[in-house]
Amino acid sequence: MADDPSVSVLPNGIHVVVKRDCATCVMVAPLLMQLQSSHGITIYSQDDAVFPVGAQVMHDADLSISWHNNIETVPTVINVIDGVEVDRTVGWLRDEWARLFDLPNIGDGLPSYRPGCGSLSVDPDKVDALRAKFEGSLLVSRRVEIASLEDEMEALFARGWTDGLPVVPPTQERVMRMLSGTSLAPSDIVAIAPPDLVELTVEKIAINAVMAGCLPEYLPWVIAALKAVCTDEFNMHGVLATTMPVGPVIVCSGPGSRAIGMNSGVNVLGQGNRANMTIGRAVQLTIRNVGGGRPGEIDRAAHGMPGKLSFCFAEDEIGSPWTSLAVARGVATDTDAVTVFAGEGPRCVTDQLARDPEQLATSLAATLLTVEHPKLPLAYDAMLVVGPEHARVFGDAGWSRERVIEELHARLQLKGSDIVRGSHGMAEGVLQKYEQLTVSKFRPNGILLVHAGGGAGLFSEIIGGWASGAIGSEPVTQLVTNVGTQ
């Protein structure tokens, strides 16, 4: 059977797909022989070319008939009239077969019902290869051959495609499987990837998601995060080019983040969760490989930080006393979204003694003051990841998200005389003209509050930002859409 799907369109008549390795197919085999005589049915066998013995059998050896006709169960009976499928039944259900063949007493002596068996065309061991074979022509990326004596992991390192860790080789089979995670077409362009300003197709994202170790259900999250970082507001080009140690911090929100198993709890900013680690990594690999953003080239970070491999986590919405970050940024409740923030590595705020919200807010503010430098206000945003034990102090006191942020700002009003250049023995600081003024450490929307972390530990985490606003980077929130059927 050729690969051309057109040859797999069934002609008019009744068709039955079976396999010998199926008790239900074996049970109906004598009946199929009768139906071939009486109704001229066409029998396709997936495994044994001479099953049923004595019948005229088409051997669907390459499973193209089964694949192109979406056979999931054997036996499947399909009736085609005028080139169109008008009826289908799966397994053995006497009433269904009686109706389809217009034979009220069909299969006398057989039980009234037997479920079918799994079609070979959906066998987990075969399905990836079949998808690549029958649908792989959708992919247009260059095929790169690896020599048989070449170690494939080393080959991918040698081509400069990795972030310094091994990647999963992006074979056609794996990429096709990855693409099942989205309803978008491989050729769809979802963003323009900096710094080379390359049209970013779903196919290229899927390839890099395979390399990062993603599962197909993560792909819509990777796509959403890439859409967000490739906006002019987020300014991925600048985030790469800066000498500061920042990268995209990806916060995932909504029920889908839990459905794909993301971690919002113990070790939330650390290792160990596949979705957290690989979604962020896929974003960075895509920017590296498609956009061309490589360290030492466009990426000019003086130090960088480990989170530039991947920095992605989920909000703990279930245990939070507050609305989520996504909802605070305008997303409807229970909607999947990602928020990207140009951030540096996290640092811990320890306060194990504060039992009232005022004291805790003062502690958090004192540490937030040090973002980038205690004497540099307004230029940087910060993400504050409040742990559940700290959040409980605020929640028990009835402080809303807005109240917490307001109280933090109130504690972060700086006297100009304290932060002008040269004051307190430090050359760094603001211009002398601010000496008599009061200056806010952060702009009004410059503190992003997230609830996440393990249930034990009176800690929160601060993720310092990069040049904020139009001169640098704005946080961007993007809905997660086009989830695939898989």
- Contact positions vs other proteins (CB under 8 A): 139, 141-150, 152, 155-156, 158-159, 161, 169-172, 175, 193, 196, 198, 203-204, 207-208, 211, 285, 289-292
CA distances from 438 to 377, 411, 418, 419, 435 (A): 11, 12, 10, 10, 8
Q: How far apart are CA 178 and CA 210, in angstroms?
A: 7
Residue 250 beta carbon to other proteins: minimum distance, rounded to whole angstroms: 20
Residue 237 beta carbon to other proteins: minimum distance, rounded to whole angstroms: 15
Contact 304, 343 (CB under 8 A): no
Beta strands in 25-71 (DSSP E): 42-45, 57-59
Residue 139 beta carbon to other proteins: minimum distance, rounded to whole angstroms: 7
Q: How far is CA 167 from the centre of its chain?
A: 17
Residue number with CB closer to other proteins (285 or 391): 285
Residue number with CB closer to other proteins (213 or 291): 291
Find tokens 């601010």 and name the residue: 434
Residue 378 beta carbon to other proteins: minimum distance, rounded to whole angstroms: 37
Residue 206 beta carbon to other proteins: minimum distance, rounded to whole angstroms: 9
Residue number with CB closer to other proteins (142 or 303): 142
Residue 243 beta carbon to other proteins: minimum distance, rounded to whole angstroms: 25
Residue number with CB closer to other proteins (263 or 286): 286
Residue number with CB closer to other proteins (178 or 331): 178
Q: 200 phi and psi, to 5 degrees?
A: -100, 110
Buried b (16+ CB within 10 A) or exposed e, 266-276: eebbeeebebb
Beta strands in 91-126 (DSSP E): 92-93, 113-114, 117-118
Residue number with CB closer to other proteins (139 or 412): 139
Residue 287 beta carbon to other proteins: minimum distance, rounded to whole angstroms: 11
Torsion of CA 391, 392, 394, 398, to 10 degrees: 130
What DSSP element (H or E) covers 393?
Answer: helix 388-396
- For strands 42-45 and 13-18, give the pairing: parallel
Residue 24 beta carbon to other proteins: minimum distance, rounded to whole angstroms: 35
Residue number with CB closer to other proteins (147 or 431): 147
Q: How far apart are CA 382 and CA 471, in angstroms?
A: 16
Beta strands in 315-454 (DSSP E): 337-350, 380-386, 413-415, 438-440, 447-451
Q: How far apart are CA 390 and CA 460, in angstroms?
A: 7
Contact 386, 395 (CB under 8 A): no
Cα–Cα nearest to 270, from 237, 309, 296, 220: 309
Residue 194 beta carbon to other proteins: minimum distance, rounded to whole angstroms: 12
Q: How far apart are CA 470 and CA 7, in angstroms?
A: 57
Specify the DSSP class assigned to residue 271: S
Q: How far apart are CA 223 and CA 100, in angstroms?
A: 45
∠ CA 57-95-25, nearest 5°, is 30
Residue 126 beta carbon to other proteins: minimum distance, rounded to whole angstroms: 16
CA distances from 374 to 4, 365, 367, 413, 434 (A): 67, 11, 9, 12, 15
Residue number with CB closer to other proteins (193 or 379): 193
Q: 207 phi and psi, to 5 degrees?
A: -60, -45
Residue 214 beta carbon to other proteins: minimum distance, rounded to whole angstroms: 13
